[in-house]
């Protein structure tokens, strides 16, 4: 027979001030002022003034005056009376810069994201306009519409960062096309972030084929011990959130190595980038396959001279599957 006093006590919908409770106790649907609660306890839908809460605790839909919250805490959909939480500013007044780095938090059901420096770069799923932010050491710049227009990165081989499926399916908004995917500007396996701050609406063929080919070449250079940096420019038409063209310059040991140009519309607009001595053969290949240029790779020598251009043409075979044809043009 179990001694009745040895059973776990249930504390529901009541006020409790006992100071002897141990760590990891569950308190649901009640108010508690207990000062002895240990780390990692679960606090849901209640008011708490406890000053001893540990780092990385999750606080949902409650009012809190606690000043001891640790770094990387997620604050979603809750009301806070803390005087340091001012809209859009920022947890910078609430947590120190070190505590606030790369931390999402919510104010009035609106999620804010902070970068490596603890600065807000994204509010309610929208990037801050006319802004520069740094994620995982990679530098991003936005224009007046909050669109990413340039990225300076130092890729490294890294286990894949977490994917954000929701943001991948939403990036581009109303300008997104049916075949688009959320493409990572810096690959997740090269220290690129998985979220909106590192995403563009990319044509599925570009993302999974042409852009992937470039990423594989970068990874091969890194695996060979080469010092690689990338500079990406993103070109838009008008106020569209969907880019027309993406241009990435790859430098090795501080010297330009290759330049990749991607046509996100695959509509033939890259023909103007084909060297004059190769235009005819490229056009013939496009006519033969019924395809269009999807990307161009330019190779440079150690002195920065263009030595070779490879043109990739995307076309559909008799079964409707995407295929690639390439034309290599030697510089003269």
pTM score:
0.70
The per-residue pLDDT of the chain, averaged, comes to: 78
Could you tell me the domains of the chain?
109-265 (3.40.570.10), 266-331 (no CATH)
Band the pLDDT of 109: cuts 50, 70, 90.
low
Closest by CA position to 187, among listed 202, 176, 175, 170: 202
75/92 Cα distance (integer angstroms): 14
What pLDDT score was predicted for residue 156? 96
Closest by CA position to 124, among listed 142, 108, 110, 105: 110
Q: What's the rounded mean pLDDT across residues 211-229?
A: 97
179/207 Cα distance (integer angstroms): 10
Q: Is the pLDDT of residue 201 over 50?
A: yes
pLDDT digits (tens, 9 = 90+) for 139-171: 999 999 999 999 999 999 988 777 888 888 888
Task: Assess contact for 116 and 140: CB atoms under 8 A.
Answer: no
Q: Is the pLDDT of residue 30 over 60?
A: no
Q: Is 263 exposed, middle or buried (0-12, 13-18, 19+ CB in 10 A)?
A: buried
Q: Is the pLDDT of residue 116 over 70?
A: yes
pLDDT digits (tens, 9 = 90+) for 236-270: 999 999 999 999 999 999 999 999 999 999 999 99
What pLDDT score was predicted for residue 173? 87
Select the highest-mean-pLDDT range: 98-102, 170-174, 302-306. 302-306
What pLDDT score was predicted for residue 226? 97
Q: What's the rounded mean pLDDT across residues 208-229?
A: 97
What pLDDT score was predicted for residue 11? 40
What pLDDT score was predicted for residue 47? 37
What pLDDT score was predicted for residue 158? 87
Q: Is 319 exposed, middle or buried (0-12, 13-18, 19+ CB in 10 A)?
A: exposed
Residues 6+ apart with CB under 8 A from 54: 38, 39, 40, 70
Q: What's the rounded mean pLDDT across residues 322-326?
A: 96
Q: Is 20 exposed, middle or buried (0-12, 13-18, 19+ CB in 10 A)?
A: exposed
Q: Is 69 exposed, middle or buried (0-12, 13-18, 19+ CB in 10 A)?
A: buried
């Amino acid at each position: 027979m179990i001694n009745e006093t040895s059973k776990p006590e249930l504390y529901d919908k009541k006020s409790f001030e006992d100071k002897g409770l141990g760590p990891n106790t569950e308190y649901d649907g009640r108010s508690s002022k207990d000062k002895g609660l240990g780390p990692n306890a679960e606090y849901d839908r209640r008011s708490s003034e406890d000053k001893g809460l540990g780092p990385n605790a999750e606080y949902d839909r409650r009012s809190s005056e606690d000043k001891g919250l640790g770094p990387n805490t997620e604050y979603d959909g809750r009301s806070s009376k803390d005087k340091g939480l001012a809209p859009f500013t920022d947890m910078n007044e609430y947590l120190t810069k070190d505590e606030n780095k790369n931390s999402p938090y919510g104010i009035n059901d609106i999620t804010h994201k902070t970068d490596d420096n603890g600065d807000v770069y994204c509010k309610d799923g929208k990037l801050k306009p006319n802004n520069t932010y740094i994620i995982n050491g990679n530098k991003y710049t936005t224009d007046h519409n909050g669109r990413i227009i340039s990225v300076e990165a130092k890729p490294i081989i890294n286990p894949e960062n977490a994917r954000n499926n929701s943001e991948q399916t939403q990036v581009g908004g109303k300008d997104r096309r049916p075949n688009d995917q959320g493409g990572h500007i810096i690959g997740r396996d090269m220290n690129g972030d998985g979220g909106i701050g590192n995403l563009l609406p990319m044509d599925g063929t570009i993302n999974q084929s042409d852009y992937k080919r470039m990423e594989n070449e970068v990874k091969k250079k890194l695996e060979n011990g080469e010092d690689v940096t990338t500079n990406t420019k993103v070109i838009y038409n008008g106020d569209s959130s969907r880019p027309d063209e993406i241009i990435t310059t790859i430098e090795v040991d501080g010297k330009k190595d290759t330049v990749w140009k991607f046509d996100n519309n695959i509509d033939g607009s890259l023909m103007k980038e084909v060297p004059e001595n190769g235009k005819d053969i490229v056009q013939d290949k496009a006519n033969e396959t019924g395809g269009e240029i999807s990307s161009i790779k330019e190779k440079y020598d150690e002195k920065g001279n263009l030595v070779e251009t490879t043109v990739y043409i995307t076309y559909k075979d008799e079964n409707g599957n995407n295929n690639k044809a390439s034309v290599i043009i030697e510089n003269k």
